[in-house]
Amino acid sequence: MKNLKTVFFTLLLMTFVTTISYAQRSNIKDYVSIEITPDQEDWNYRVGQQPTFQLRVVRNNVPLKNVSLSYEIGPEKMTAQKTGKSNLEKGVLTVKAGTLKTPGFMTCTAKVTVDGVQYTNYINVAFDAQKIQPTTTQPADFTQFWKNALADNAKIAMKPQMTLLPDECTADIDVYQVKLQHFKNGSYIYGKLCMPKAPGQYPAVLRVPGAGVKKNPAEMVLAQKGMITLSIGIHGIPLNMSDHIYSDLNNGVLKDYAFIHLDDKDQYYYKRVYTGCVRALDFLTTLPQYDGENLGVIGGSQGGALAMVTAALDHRVKALVAYYPALCDLTGYLHGRAGGWPAMFAPRNETLNKKAEKIETSRYYDVANFAPLIKAPGYYSWGYNDPTCPPTSYYAAYNVIEAPKELFVAQSTGHWRNKEQDLKTIEWFCKQLTK
């Protein structure tokens, strides 16, 4: 009974804190804001159709008049095709946006200066997004390349080590730091494992991380729903060091790690990462508490990419959730449209990366080339206003998935998600792994 009370109050506290967090975030607004409203409620248009935008500048919920507003409209991440200015004499400006001739996204950006402070806002609207296709192509030896990579990695002894982290344990869940040998002898990946204390067998979930060099917290939410969870880092460093070390690495030797060895498909940084995700599944499936059947993977941004890649490489995965995945259709910029994070072929990186061998390597690591290999049911979620992982890029990957898939679009969100997205995706995920 005492344990039940502890669980109840823990969940109640988490709900309260989460509610406060969402409420606080939703209430953080600029003193002046620019509202951009498309004439389609779902922000979706057909190729050749012309959107109309209404633009207003608002302060204290009241539209401002006689302020100078400028706007730009064009394909996502590309040069604007239409620009203009208005003094907003009537407090609102209606703009006919033009159209797109091929499936993709259009961006409307507006700027205004009020009392010496500049404000900016933008929205993306879709044109036949479900028809966007990848610009990248799958190499002829793509499947064999990854089959060989996994076979080579399987020869390396895992040598798992589990270290209890008493300060992170709860009344019902034990938390461990896990160390697994991987990729070569003496090289490791680290993660935080959450294990229900009650005897029994449970589904297992791999939580894969977003980009950066940082501590990755234990995945407690799904653990509290009765799952074994393993949240991993990808850089081969422990997850219990001082914060400044991660910052130093992120700004030092691991800065722009997504470009490291991009000229060699066998040495590229993400080879270690992709095979490491499978190594993490290998570990989860050895645990005696694992139920032997229900294995899932979940992540957002870089983690969304890794969730999709892991499901493609390892068909033991029974369900995946991917939020706004990175690394999709990387060559988009070479074809006059937005490409996925890390924007390796965007104009700002062309001098460094626009080379035949780097373009070739990207094909072996592009999520759009893994997507057709996914067999597990997946739930995907994103918004249209993502400046980091452009929606053009992740639709290019999503549209070639042949496995069962569901998509929840929260149009106004960017490189973040709202409470409804989490609720829907986690509910779906739990049903898949506990039915």
Please give the positions annotated as active site: 301, 386, 415
Query: What dihedral do alpha carbons 243, 244, 247, 252 form, nearest 10°?
Result: -140
**How far from chain centre, in Å, is Cα 328?**
10
User: Cβ(198)–Cβ(171) under 8 Å?
Assistant: no
In what order do the strands lie in the sheet containing 69-75? 44-45, 117-127, 104-114, 69-75, 82-86
Pull the structure tokens for residue 364: 């072996």
Burial degree of 25 (CB within 10 A; 0-12, 13-18, 19+): exposed
C-alpha distance from residue 190 to each of 176, 277, 365, 402 (Å): 10, 11, 22, 32
Distance CA 429, CA 361 (A): 33
β 290-300/319-323 pair status? parallel
HSE-up (13 A, CA, CB side) for residue 221: 14
The string of DSSP codes covering 104-171 is: EEEEEEEEEEETTEEEEEEEEEEESGGG---SS---TTHHHHHHHHHHHHHTS----EEEE-GGG--S
**184 closest CA partner among 283, 276, 311:** 276
